[in-house]
Structure 1
Amino acid sequence: MGRRFGRWIGGKEAAMDATSLRKRVNRIKTRLREKQSPARNSQEAAPIADAMRAYHEREMLSFAIPAHSGGRGPAPEFVQWAGTDAARFDLPMSHGVDTRDRAWKVQATAQELFAEALGARQTLFSTNGSTMSAHVAVMTVAGPGETLVMARNGHKSAFEGLVLSGARPVYLEPYYDHELALALGPLPGDLRTALEANPDARAAMVFTPSYYGTSADVRALASICHERDLPLVTDDAWGLDYDLVGHSGLPQGGLSCGADLTIGSVHKTLTGLGQTSVLSVGSERIDPARLKLFFELEESTSTSSLLLSAIDGARRQFVREGQQLLDRSLHSARLLRERLAAEVPELRVVSTEQLAERPGVVGVDPCHVLIETAPLGLTGYQADDWLRDERQVDVELSDHRRILPLITFAHGEAEIDRFVRALRDLVDAHAGSRNGGWIPEVPTGAELRTEQAMLPREAFFAASEEVKPKAAVGRVSAELVTPYPPGIPAVAPGEVITDTIVDYLELFVAAGGFVEGASDQALDRFRVVA
């Protein structure tokens, strides 16, 4: 028995030695493959695009996904409108753009370059938009039952993050401007008060710049968090270009002002495709292992190489020519404001100076142009519909009293001219009914606030029922009822539905607004906890 046991032990040790040897050999092989990588660590390179081109230069033949295999056989239907290159460059990231074991570090190199360009410690690429980035950010900083101080004017994706994480939100009310009927950023003093009242808070999260182009005082907000060694998360979806380029005509970005974790939409401000976003780490207050864990939980195992390459390319383009691109954006925005003042004076354009005077606003993006349509007797929804139907012009946002065109580097003098002429026609077409239309009076954010009776996760997963609007009053919401845009929930899971909330939502729908997140988008019924 003793000899057999000894032989068993010896055999096990030999097997372990052989396993260790194989591991070492594999590591050596990986290092050798790394040297063959087409990905260069240079801001002048686009590692993902370079590796995609190298794939075709090697004349690779694939028996792997995607099924269309680069359009090699019968042409996929989508090439009729997207072109054959869309199929050729829709490649698998592993055993395709990169090796089976990612030895070439193609995506990793691209992410390192993006982080370097931003001044971040780490950057991750999301191909499910800033929605995924927000989910990951919330889960990273606050787990089940843990407290997150979060501005109440957040995008619905952050509230979805609360459902996924199980965190307990303490909502921070943003400053509300009564004249403009706009929720701006939270005030630093209000954040300090919230953190003092909730010493168990694990982090704070704010949403800046706002949809309307105003930037909150991130530097002061971050300082208040850092006094307690807490991370500040900023949803910078509308301001990724601020940190990447540092243009003097735009506000400062979240990372440069001390934010610890930031969310940036590549497709909103750079030259990326839709659904492209980055999540960037600014300090050691964010646990990189925890971040990676939750990122992989949300990330597809079949990420789109086309979308990833668009993020990579946008970084290279804005490092190379960001100043010129943003110069063009700012010039076009200035031209639009000047021409509207001269040619369409009936429409009030809210100036950047007016917005900058508001409490808590430390910067304004002039490319978000607020145009008041209420003086015409038109809601923003009516003006938006007329412009789209009659002049084939779309705008980024419309609400109960205004429209907001987003001016980018894509717009030159010809596009501005067409838009100004369309607005002139809008005014002329409604001259006879001026001031005769119905413009709804909406409640303030404070008037819409209500009791948080359950955690968002508990309410979302609870047994529920659908009831008529008036019967929902006093009940706990089991859904995210979200006027869109701007995508801020009027009522979130776990909040008690009030008469004011029901009246506002019915008014919103009657005015022509669109609701997301509700089981019944017509709002004839509300989903509530049973």
Structure 2
Amino acid sequence: MTSVQETVKGRPCITQQDAPLLEALTAYARSGAVPYDVPGHKMGAQDTPFRQAIGEQALKLDVNSMPELDLLSHPKSVIRDAQQLAAEAFGADHAFFLVNGTTTGIHAMILAACKPGETLIVPRNAHKSVMDGIILSGAVPVFMQPEVDRHFGISHGVSVESVAAALAGNPEAAALLITYPTYFGSMTDLAAICRLAHAAGVAVLVDAAHGAHLRFVDGLMDPIEAGADLVTASMHKTGGSLTQSSLLLQQGARIPAERVQKVTGMLQSTSASYLLMSSLDAARRELALHGSGQFHRLQPIAEAAVNAIEAGGRYEVLGCADTEGRFGQSHDWTKLVIRVNGLGLTGFEVYSLLKRRYGIQMELAEGYVVMAVLTAADTEASISRLVAALQEIEREDRTEYVLRSDWTVAETAPALAMSPRDAFYAQHETVHIKEAVGRISADTLMIYPPGIPLVIPGERITHDVMQQYSYYEQATGAVLSGAKTAGSVTVVKGGTEQ
């Protein structure tokens, strides 16, 4: 990989201590330029309620593309330098700033790796954006089943054995997509998977939406180090940048950087937000300079919190002993996955109690668990507040039984009856979910978060899907779908029961 210092000719060398885009942007905001370009708020010239809410400086930084600030679709100066610093910080050959989140990165990875009709091997518990990328690209999915953890009521990553079988059964595959880490922090042996895939001539794409921090945490392997060809990481989730800002990382020659640049240019706005891009530049600098130390400080605090949460006997926190011992996968300790059904309560009920009574916003709830995401911004004081709230709930709200349910996690996925792309473009009709059993879905049904679909376009809706839908509707009142009527689903017209 060529260093930034070698590529910037005739200008001072830059290092990880610099933030070239952020510095150029703040210099422009101070310059006193009189804007006759867009955006129309003219650097916050009017005193509006919105300016009062977010501050004048934020609007001064919300400007348009111009020579001194570079252009994301064709970076030649400060954006190019900022992206190259990001590549160096994450050990990649190239980095691309994303201003529409990891969703855009996943779409770009699939479009760059797969032509229409080519095979993409993918976990069935992948995010909705993966399913949408399959529709956009025309790739043909081959689904692998994840490891199901009935004790915690969640799914983990796919096993190395499942990947090996999928590769052997689909020698024509163009690419393999892996979620690493999963939403709940489990991490399969990605290095072994990359070796298997590359030996078969298959590119490896990684949805690392929840793993932007991995490179800076002792003992955790990041996907570039493991050998992935393309990786998309949500810097806004665990790296400290603004919501909707992510990185797409590239290494090696299997999928050329030029192709990735072209595809991201097709998918992204030509008016990319400088607030988002500069936050990526700033967050990269913070991680590169201080990330390892910050996570080293955080780890013993997290370990003490786990011990305190489990001390009362009714909670259980997911850890490496669980994932390695039963599923052969490691675990990211920054994901506090807390099994709460030992209280006789659902995760949804504990989530609500934490928010309503204690003002604590958890990342998500599932049937048996709630999850907290720890980042470098957390402190002993903030974590202690969560621990104290959980302990009080354990004392005051527990019941005398352990909650059990058959619908917290699906053992198998519905069969794919037609390609997601064909189902998306087929003629549709809307029916009640109870009348949809046996029909081919034209819709994505999911809970967000985590955004993993219960059913996707092209899959045949089963009795189990209907039961899971009913379970989540009763528990949360919010199953997301394209149908406008609650309790309904869009199906392929003429798709008959089997």
Q: Give the TM interval when normalised to the shorter protein.
A: over 0.9
CA spacing shift, 1:236–1:113, aligned 2, 3 Å: same
After TM superposition, give the deviation of residue 516 of structure 1 in Å. 2.5
The answer for the alignment partner of 2:5 in structure 1 is none
> Highest CA radius of gyration, 1 or 2?
1
What SS does the corresponding residue of 1:93 show, helix, strand or coil? coil
| Aligned counterparts of 1:103 and 1:375: Cα–Cα separation in 2 | 54
Q: Which residue in the other structure is 1:18 paired with?
A: none
Alpha-carbon distance change, 430 to 100 in structure 1, aligned in 2, over 3 angstroms: closer
CA–CA separation in structure 1 for the residues paired with 2:420 and 2:165:
23
Contact kept in structure 1, 2:317 and 2:339, CA below 8 Å: yes
Match of 2:427 in 1: 463
1:386 aligned onto 2:345: no
| Structure 2 residue aligned with 1:435 | 401
Contact preservation (8 Å) 1:51, 1:98? no
Give, in angstroms, the shift of residue 196 of structure 1: 1.9
The equivalent of 1:396 in structure 2 is 363
Instruction: Give CA deviations for 1:43-85 in whole Å, capped at 9, x if unaligned.
Output: 111011111122134432221111111113x124322221111
Is the 8 Å Cα contact of residues 171 and 200 (structure 2) preserved in structure 1? no
Mapped partners of 1:434, 1:95: distance in 2: 67
The CA distance in 1 between the partners of 2:249 and 2:417, in whole Å, is 33
Counterpart in 1 of 2:255? Answer: 286
Q: In 1, distance between residues paired with 2:264 and 2:75?
A: 20
Contact preservation (8 Å) 1:477, 1:496: yes
The Cα of 1:104 is off from its aligned counterpart by: 5.6
Cα gap change, 1:425/1:521 in structure 2, threshold over 3 Å: closer, same or farther? farther
Going from structure 1 to structure 2, the CA distance change for 1:57 and 1:178 (only over 3 Å counts) comes to closer
Give deviations 1:170-215, integer Å, cap 9, x for gaps.
Answer: 0011122233332111122221221222222111001010111111
Q: Which residue of 1 aligns with 2:316?
A: 348
Question: Which whole-Å CA distance do the structure 1 matches of 2:74 and 2:48 have between them?
Answer: 28
Give the share of equivalent positions with the same residue, in percent.
31
Residue 525 of structure 1 is aligned with which of 488, 494, 497? 488
Q: Secondary structure at the match of 1:369?
A: strand
Q: Following TM superposition, by how much is the alpha carbon of 1:514 offset from its aligned partner in structure 2, in angstroms?
A: 3.4
- Measured after TM superposition, the shift of residue 36 of structure 1 is 9.0
2:4 maps to none
Counterparts of 1:292-441 in structure 2, within 5 Å, are 292-342=261-311, 344-361=312-329, 363-431=330-398, 433-435=399-401, 439-441=404-406
The one-letter amino acid of 1:488's match is: I
Structure 1 residues 104 and 227 mapped into 2: Cα distance closer, same or farther (>3 Å)?
Answer: closer
Q: What is the CA distance between 1:369 and its match in structure 2? A: 1.3
CA distance, structure 2, for counterparts of residue 101 and residue 441 of structure 1: 49
In the alignment, is residue 123 of structure 1 matched against residue 95 of structure 2? yes
Change (3 A) 1:416 1:443: closer
Contact 2:153 2:367 survives alignment (8 Å): no
1:454 counterpart = 2:431: no
Gaps of 5+ in 1: 1-33
Tell me the C-alpha RMSD between the 2 structures. 2.2
Aligned partner of 1:71 among 44, 47, 67: 44
Q: Which amino acid aligns with 2:81?
A: T
Post-superposition shift, 1:103?
Answer: 7.8
> Does the aligned pair in 2 maintain the 1:482–1:518 contact within 8 Å?
no
Is contact 2:39-2:63 (8 Å) kept? yes
Contact 1:215/1:251 (<8 A) preserved: no
Q: Is 2:134 aligned against 1:162?
A: yes
Question: In 2, distance between residues paired with 1:187 and 1:439?
Answer: 26
Matches of residues 246-257 of structure 1 in structure 2 within 5 Å?
Answer: 247-248=217-218, 250-257=219-226
Asked whether the equivalents of residues 429 and 492 of structure 2 are also in contact (C-alpha less than 8 Å), the reply is yes
Secondary structure at 1:403's aligned position in 2?
strand
Could you tell me how far apart the structure 2 residues matched to 1:383 and 1:67 are?
45
Quick one: structure 1 residues 100 and 371, their matched pair in 2 at CA, closer, same or farther if it must change by over 3 Å?
closer
In the superposition, the TM-score normalised over structure 2's length comes to: 0.92
CA contact (8 A) 1:329 1:409 kept: yes
Structure 1 CA distance for aligned equivalents of residues 445 and 439 of structure 2: 14
The alignment partner of 2:187 has SS state of strand
Structure 2 letter corresponding to 1:385: S
Residues 459 and 494 of structure 1 are in contact (CA less than 8 Å); yes or no, is this contact kept in structure 2? Answer: yes
From the superposition, tell whether residues 328 and 515 of structure 1 become closer, same or farther in structure 2 (CA, over 3 Å): farther
The yes-or-no answer on 1:48 pairing with 2:21 is: yes
TM-fit CA distance, 1:118: 1.0
**Separation in 2 of the partners of 1:476 and 1:504?**
17
Amino acid at match of 2:318: V
How far did residue 141 of structure 1 move? 1.0
Shifted more, 78-87 versus 379-388: the winner is 78-87
What TM-score results when the alignment is normalised by the length of structure 1?
0.87
Q: Structure 1 counterpart of 2:351, which letter? A: D
Aligned to 2:450: 486
- Extract structure 1 runs of 4+ deviating beyond 3 A: 34-37, 98-104, 443-447
Change in 2 beyond 3 A, CA 1:49/1:162: same
Shift of the alpha carbon at 1:434?
3.4
Question: Shift of residue 444 of structure 1?
Answer: 5.0
What's 1:60 paired with? 33
The alpha-carbon distance between structure 1 residues 278 and 131, as it changes in their structure 2 partners (threshold 3 A), is same
* Counterpart-to-counterpart distance in 2, 1:223 and 1:101: 33
Question: Matched residues in 2 for 1:377 and 1:149: separation?
Answer: 39
Deviations 1:421-451 (A, max 9, x none): 21122223314x3328x6432275443x222
Q: Partners in 1 of 2:424 and 2:379 — Cα distance?
A: 46
Query: Counterpart amino acid of 2:425?
Result: F
Residues 481 and 492, structure 1, Cα contact 8 Å, conserved in 2: yes
Unaligned runs of 5+ in 2: 1-7, 494-498
Distance in 1 of aligned mates of 2:63 and 2:389: 42
Given the superposition, is the C-alpha separation of residues 169 and 394 from structure 1 closer, same or farther in structure 2, using an over 3 Å criterion?
A: same
Asked if the contact 1:399–1:513 (Cα under 8 Å) also holds between the matched residues in 2, the reply is no
Q: Deviations over 1:480-525 (max 9, x none)?
A: 1112222111111111111111111111211226323442473x11
What is the 5 A alignment of 1:499-518? Answer: 499-512=463-476, 514-518=478-482
Q: Is the 8 A contact 1:384 1:403 kept in 2?
A: yes
Q: Match of 2:173?
A: 201
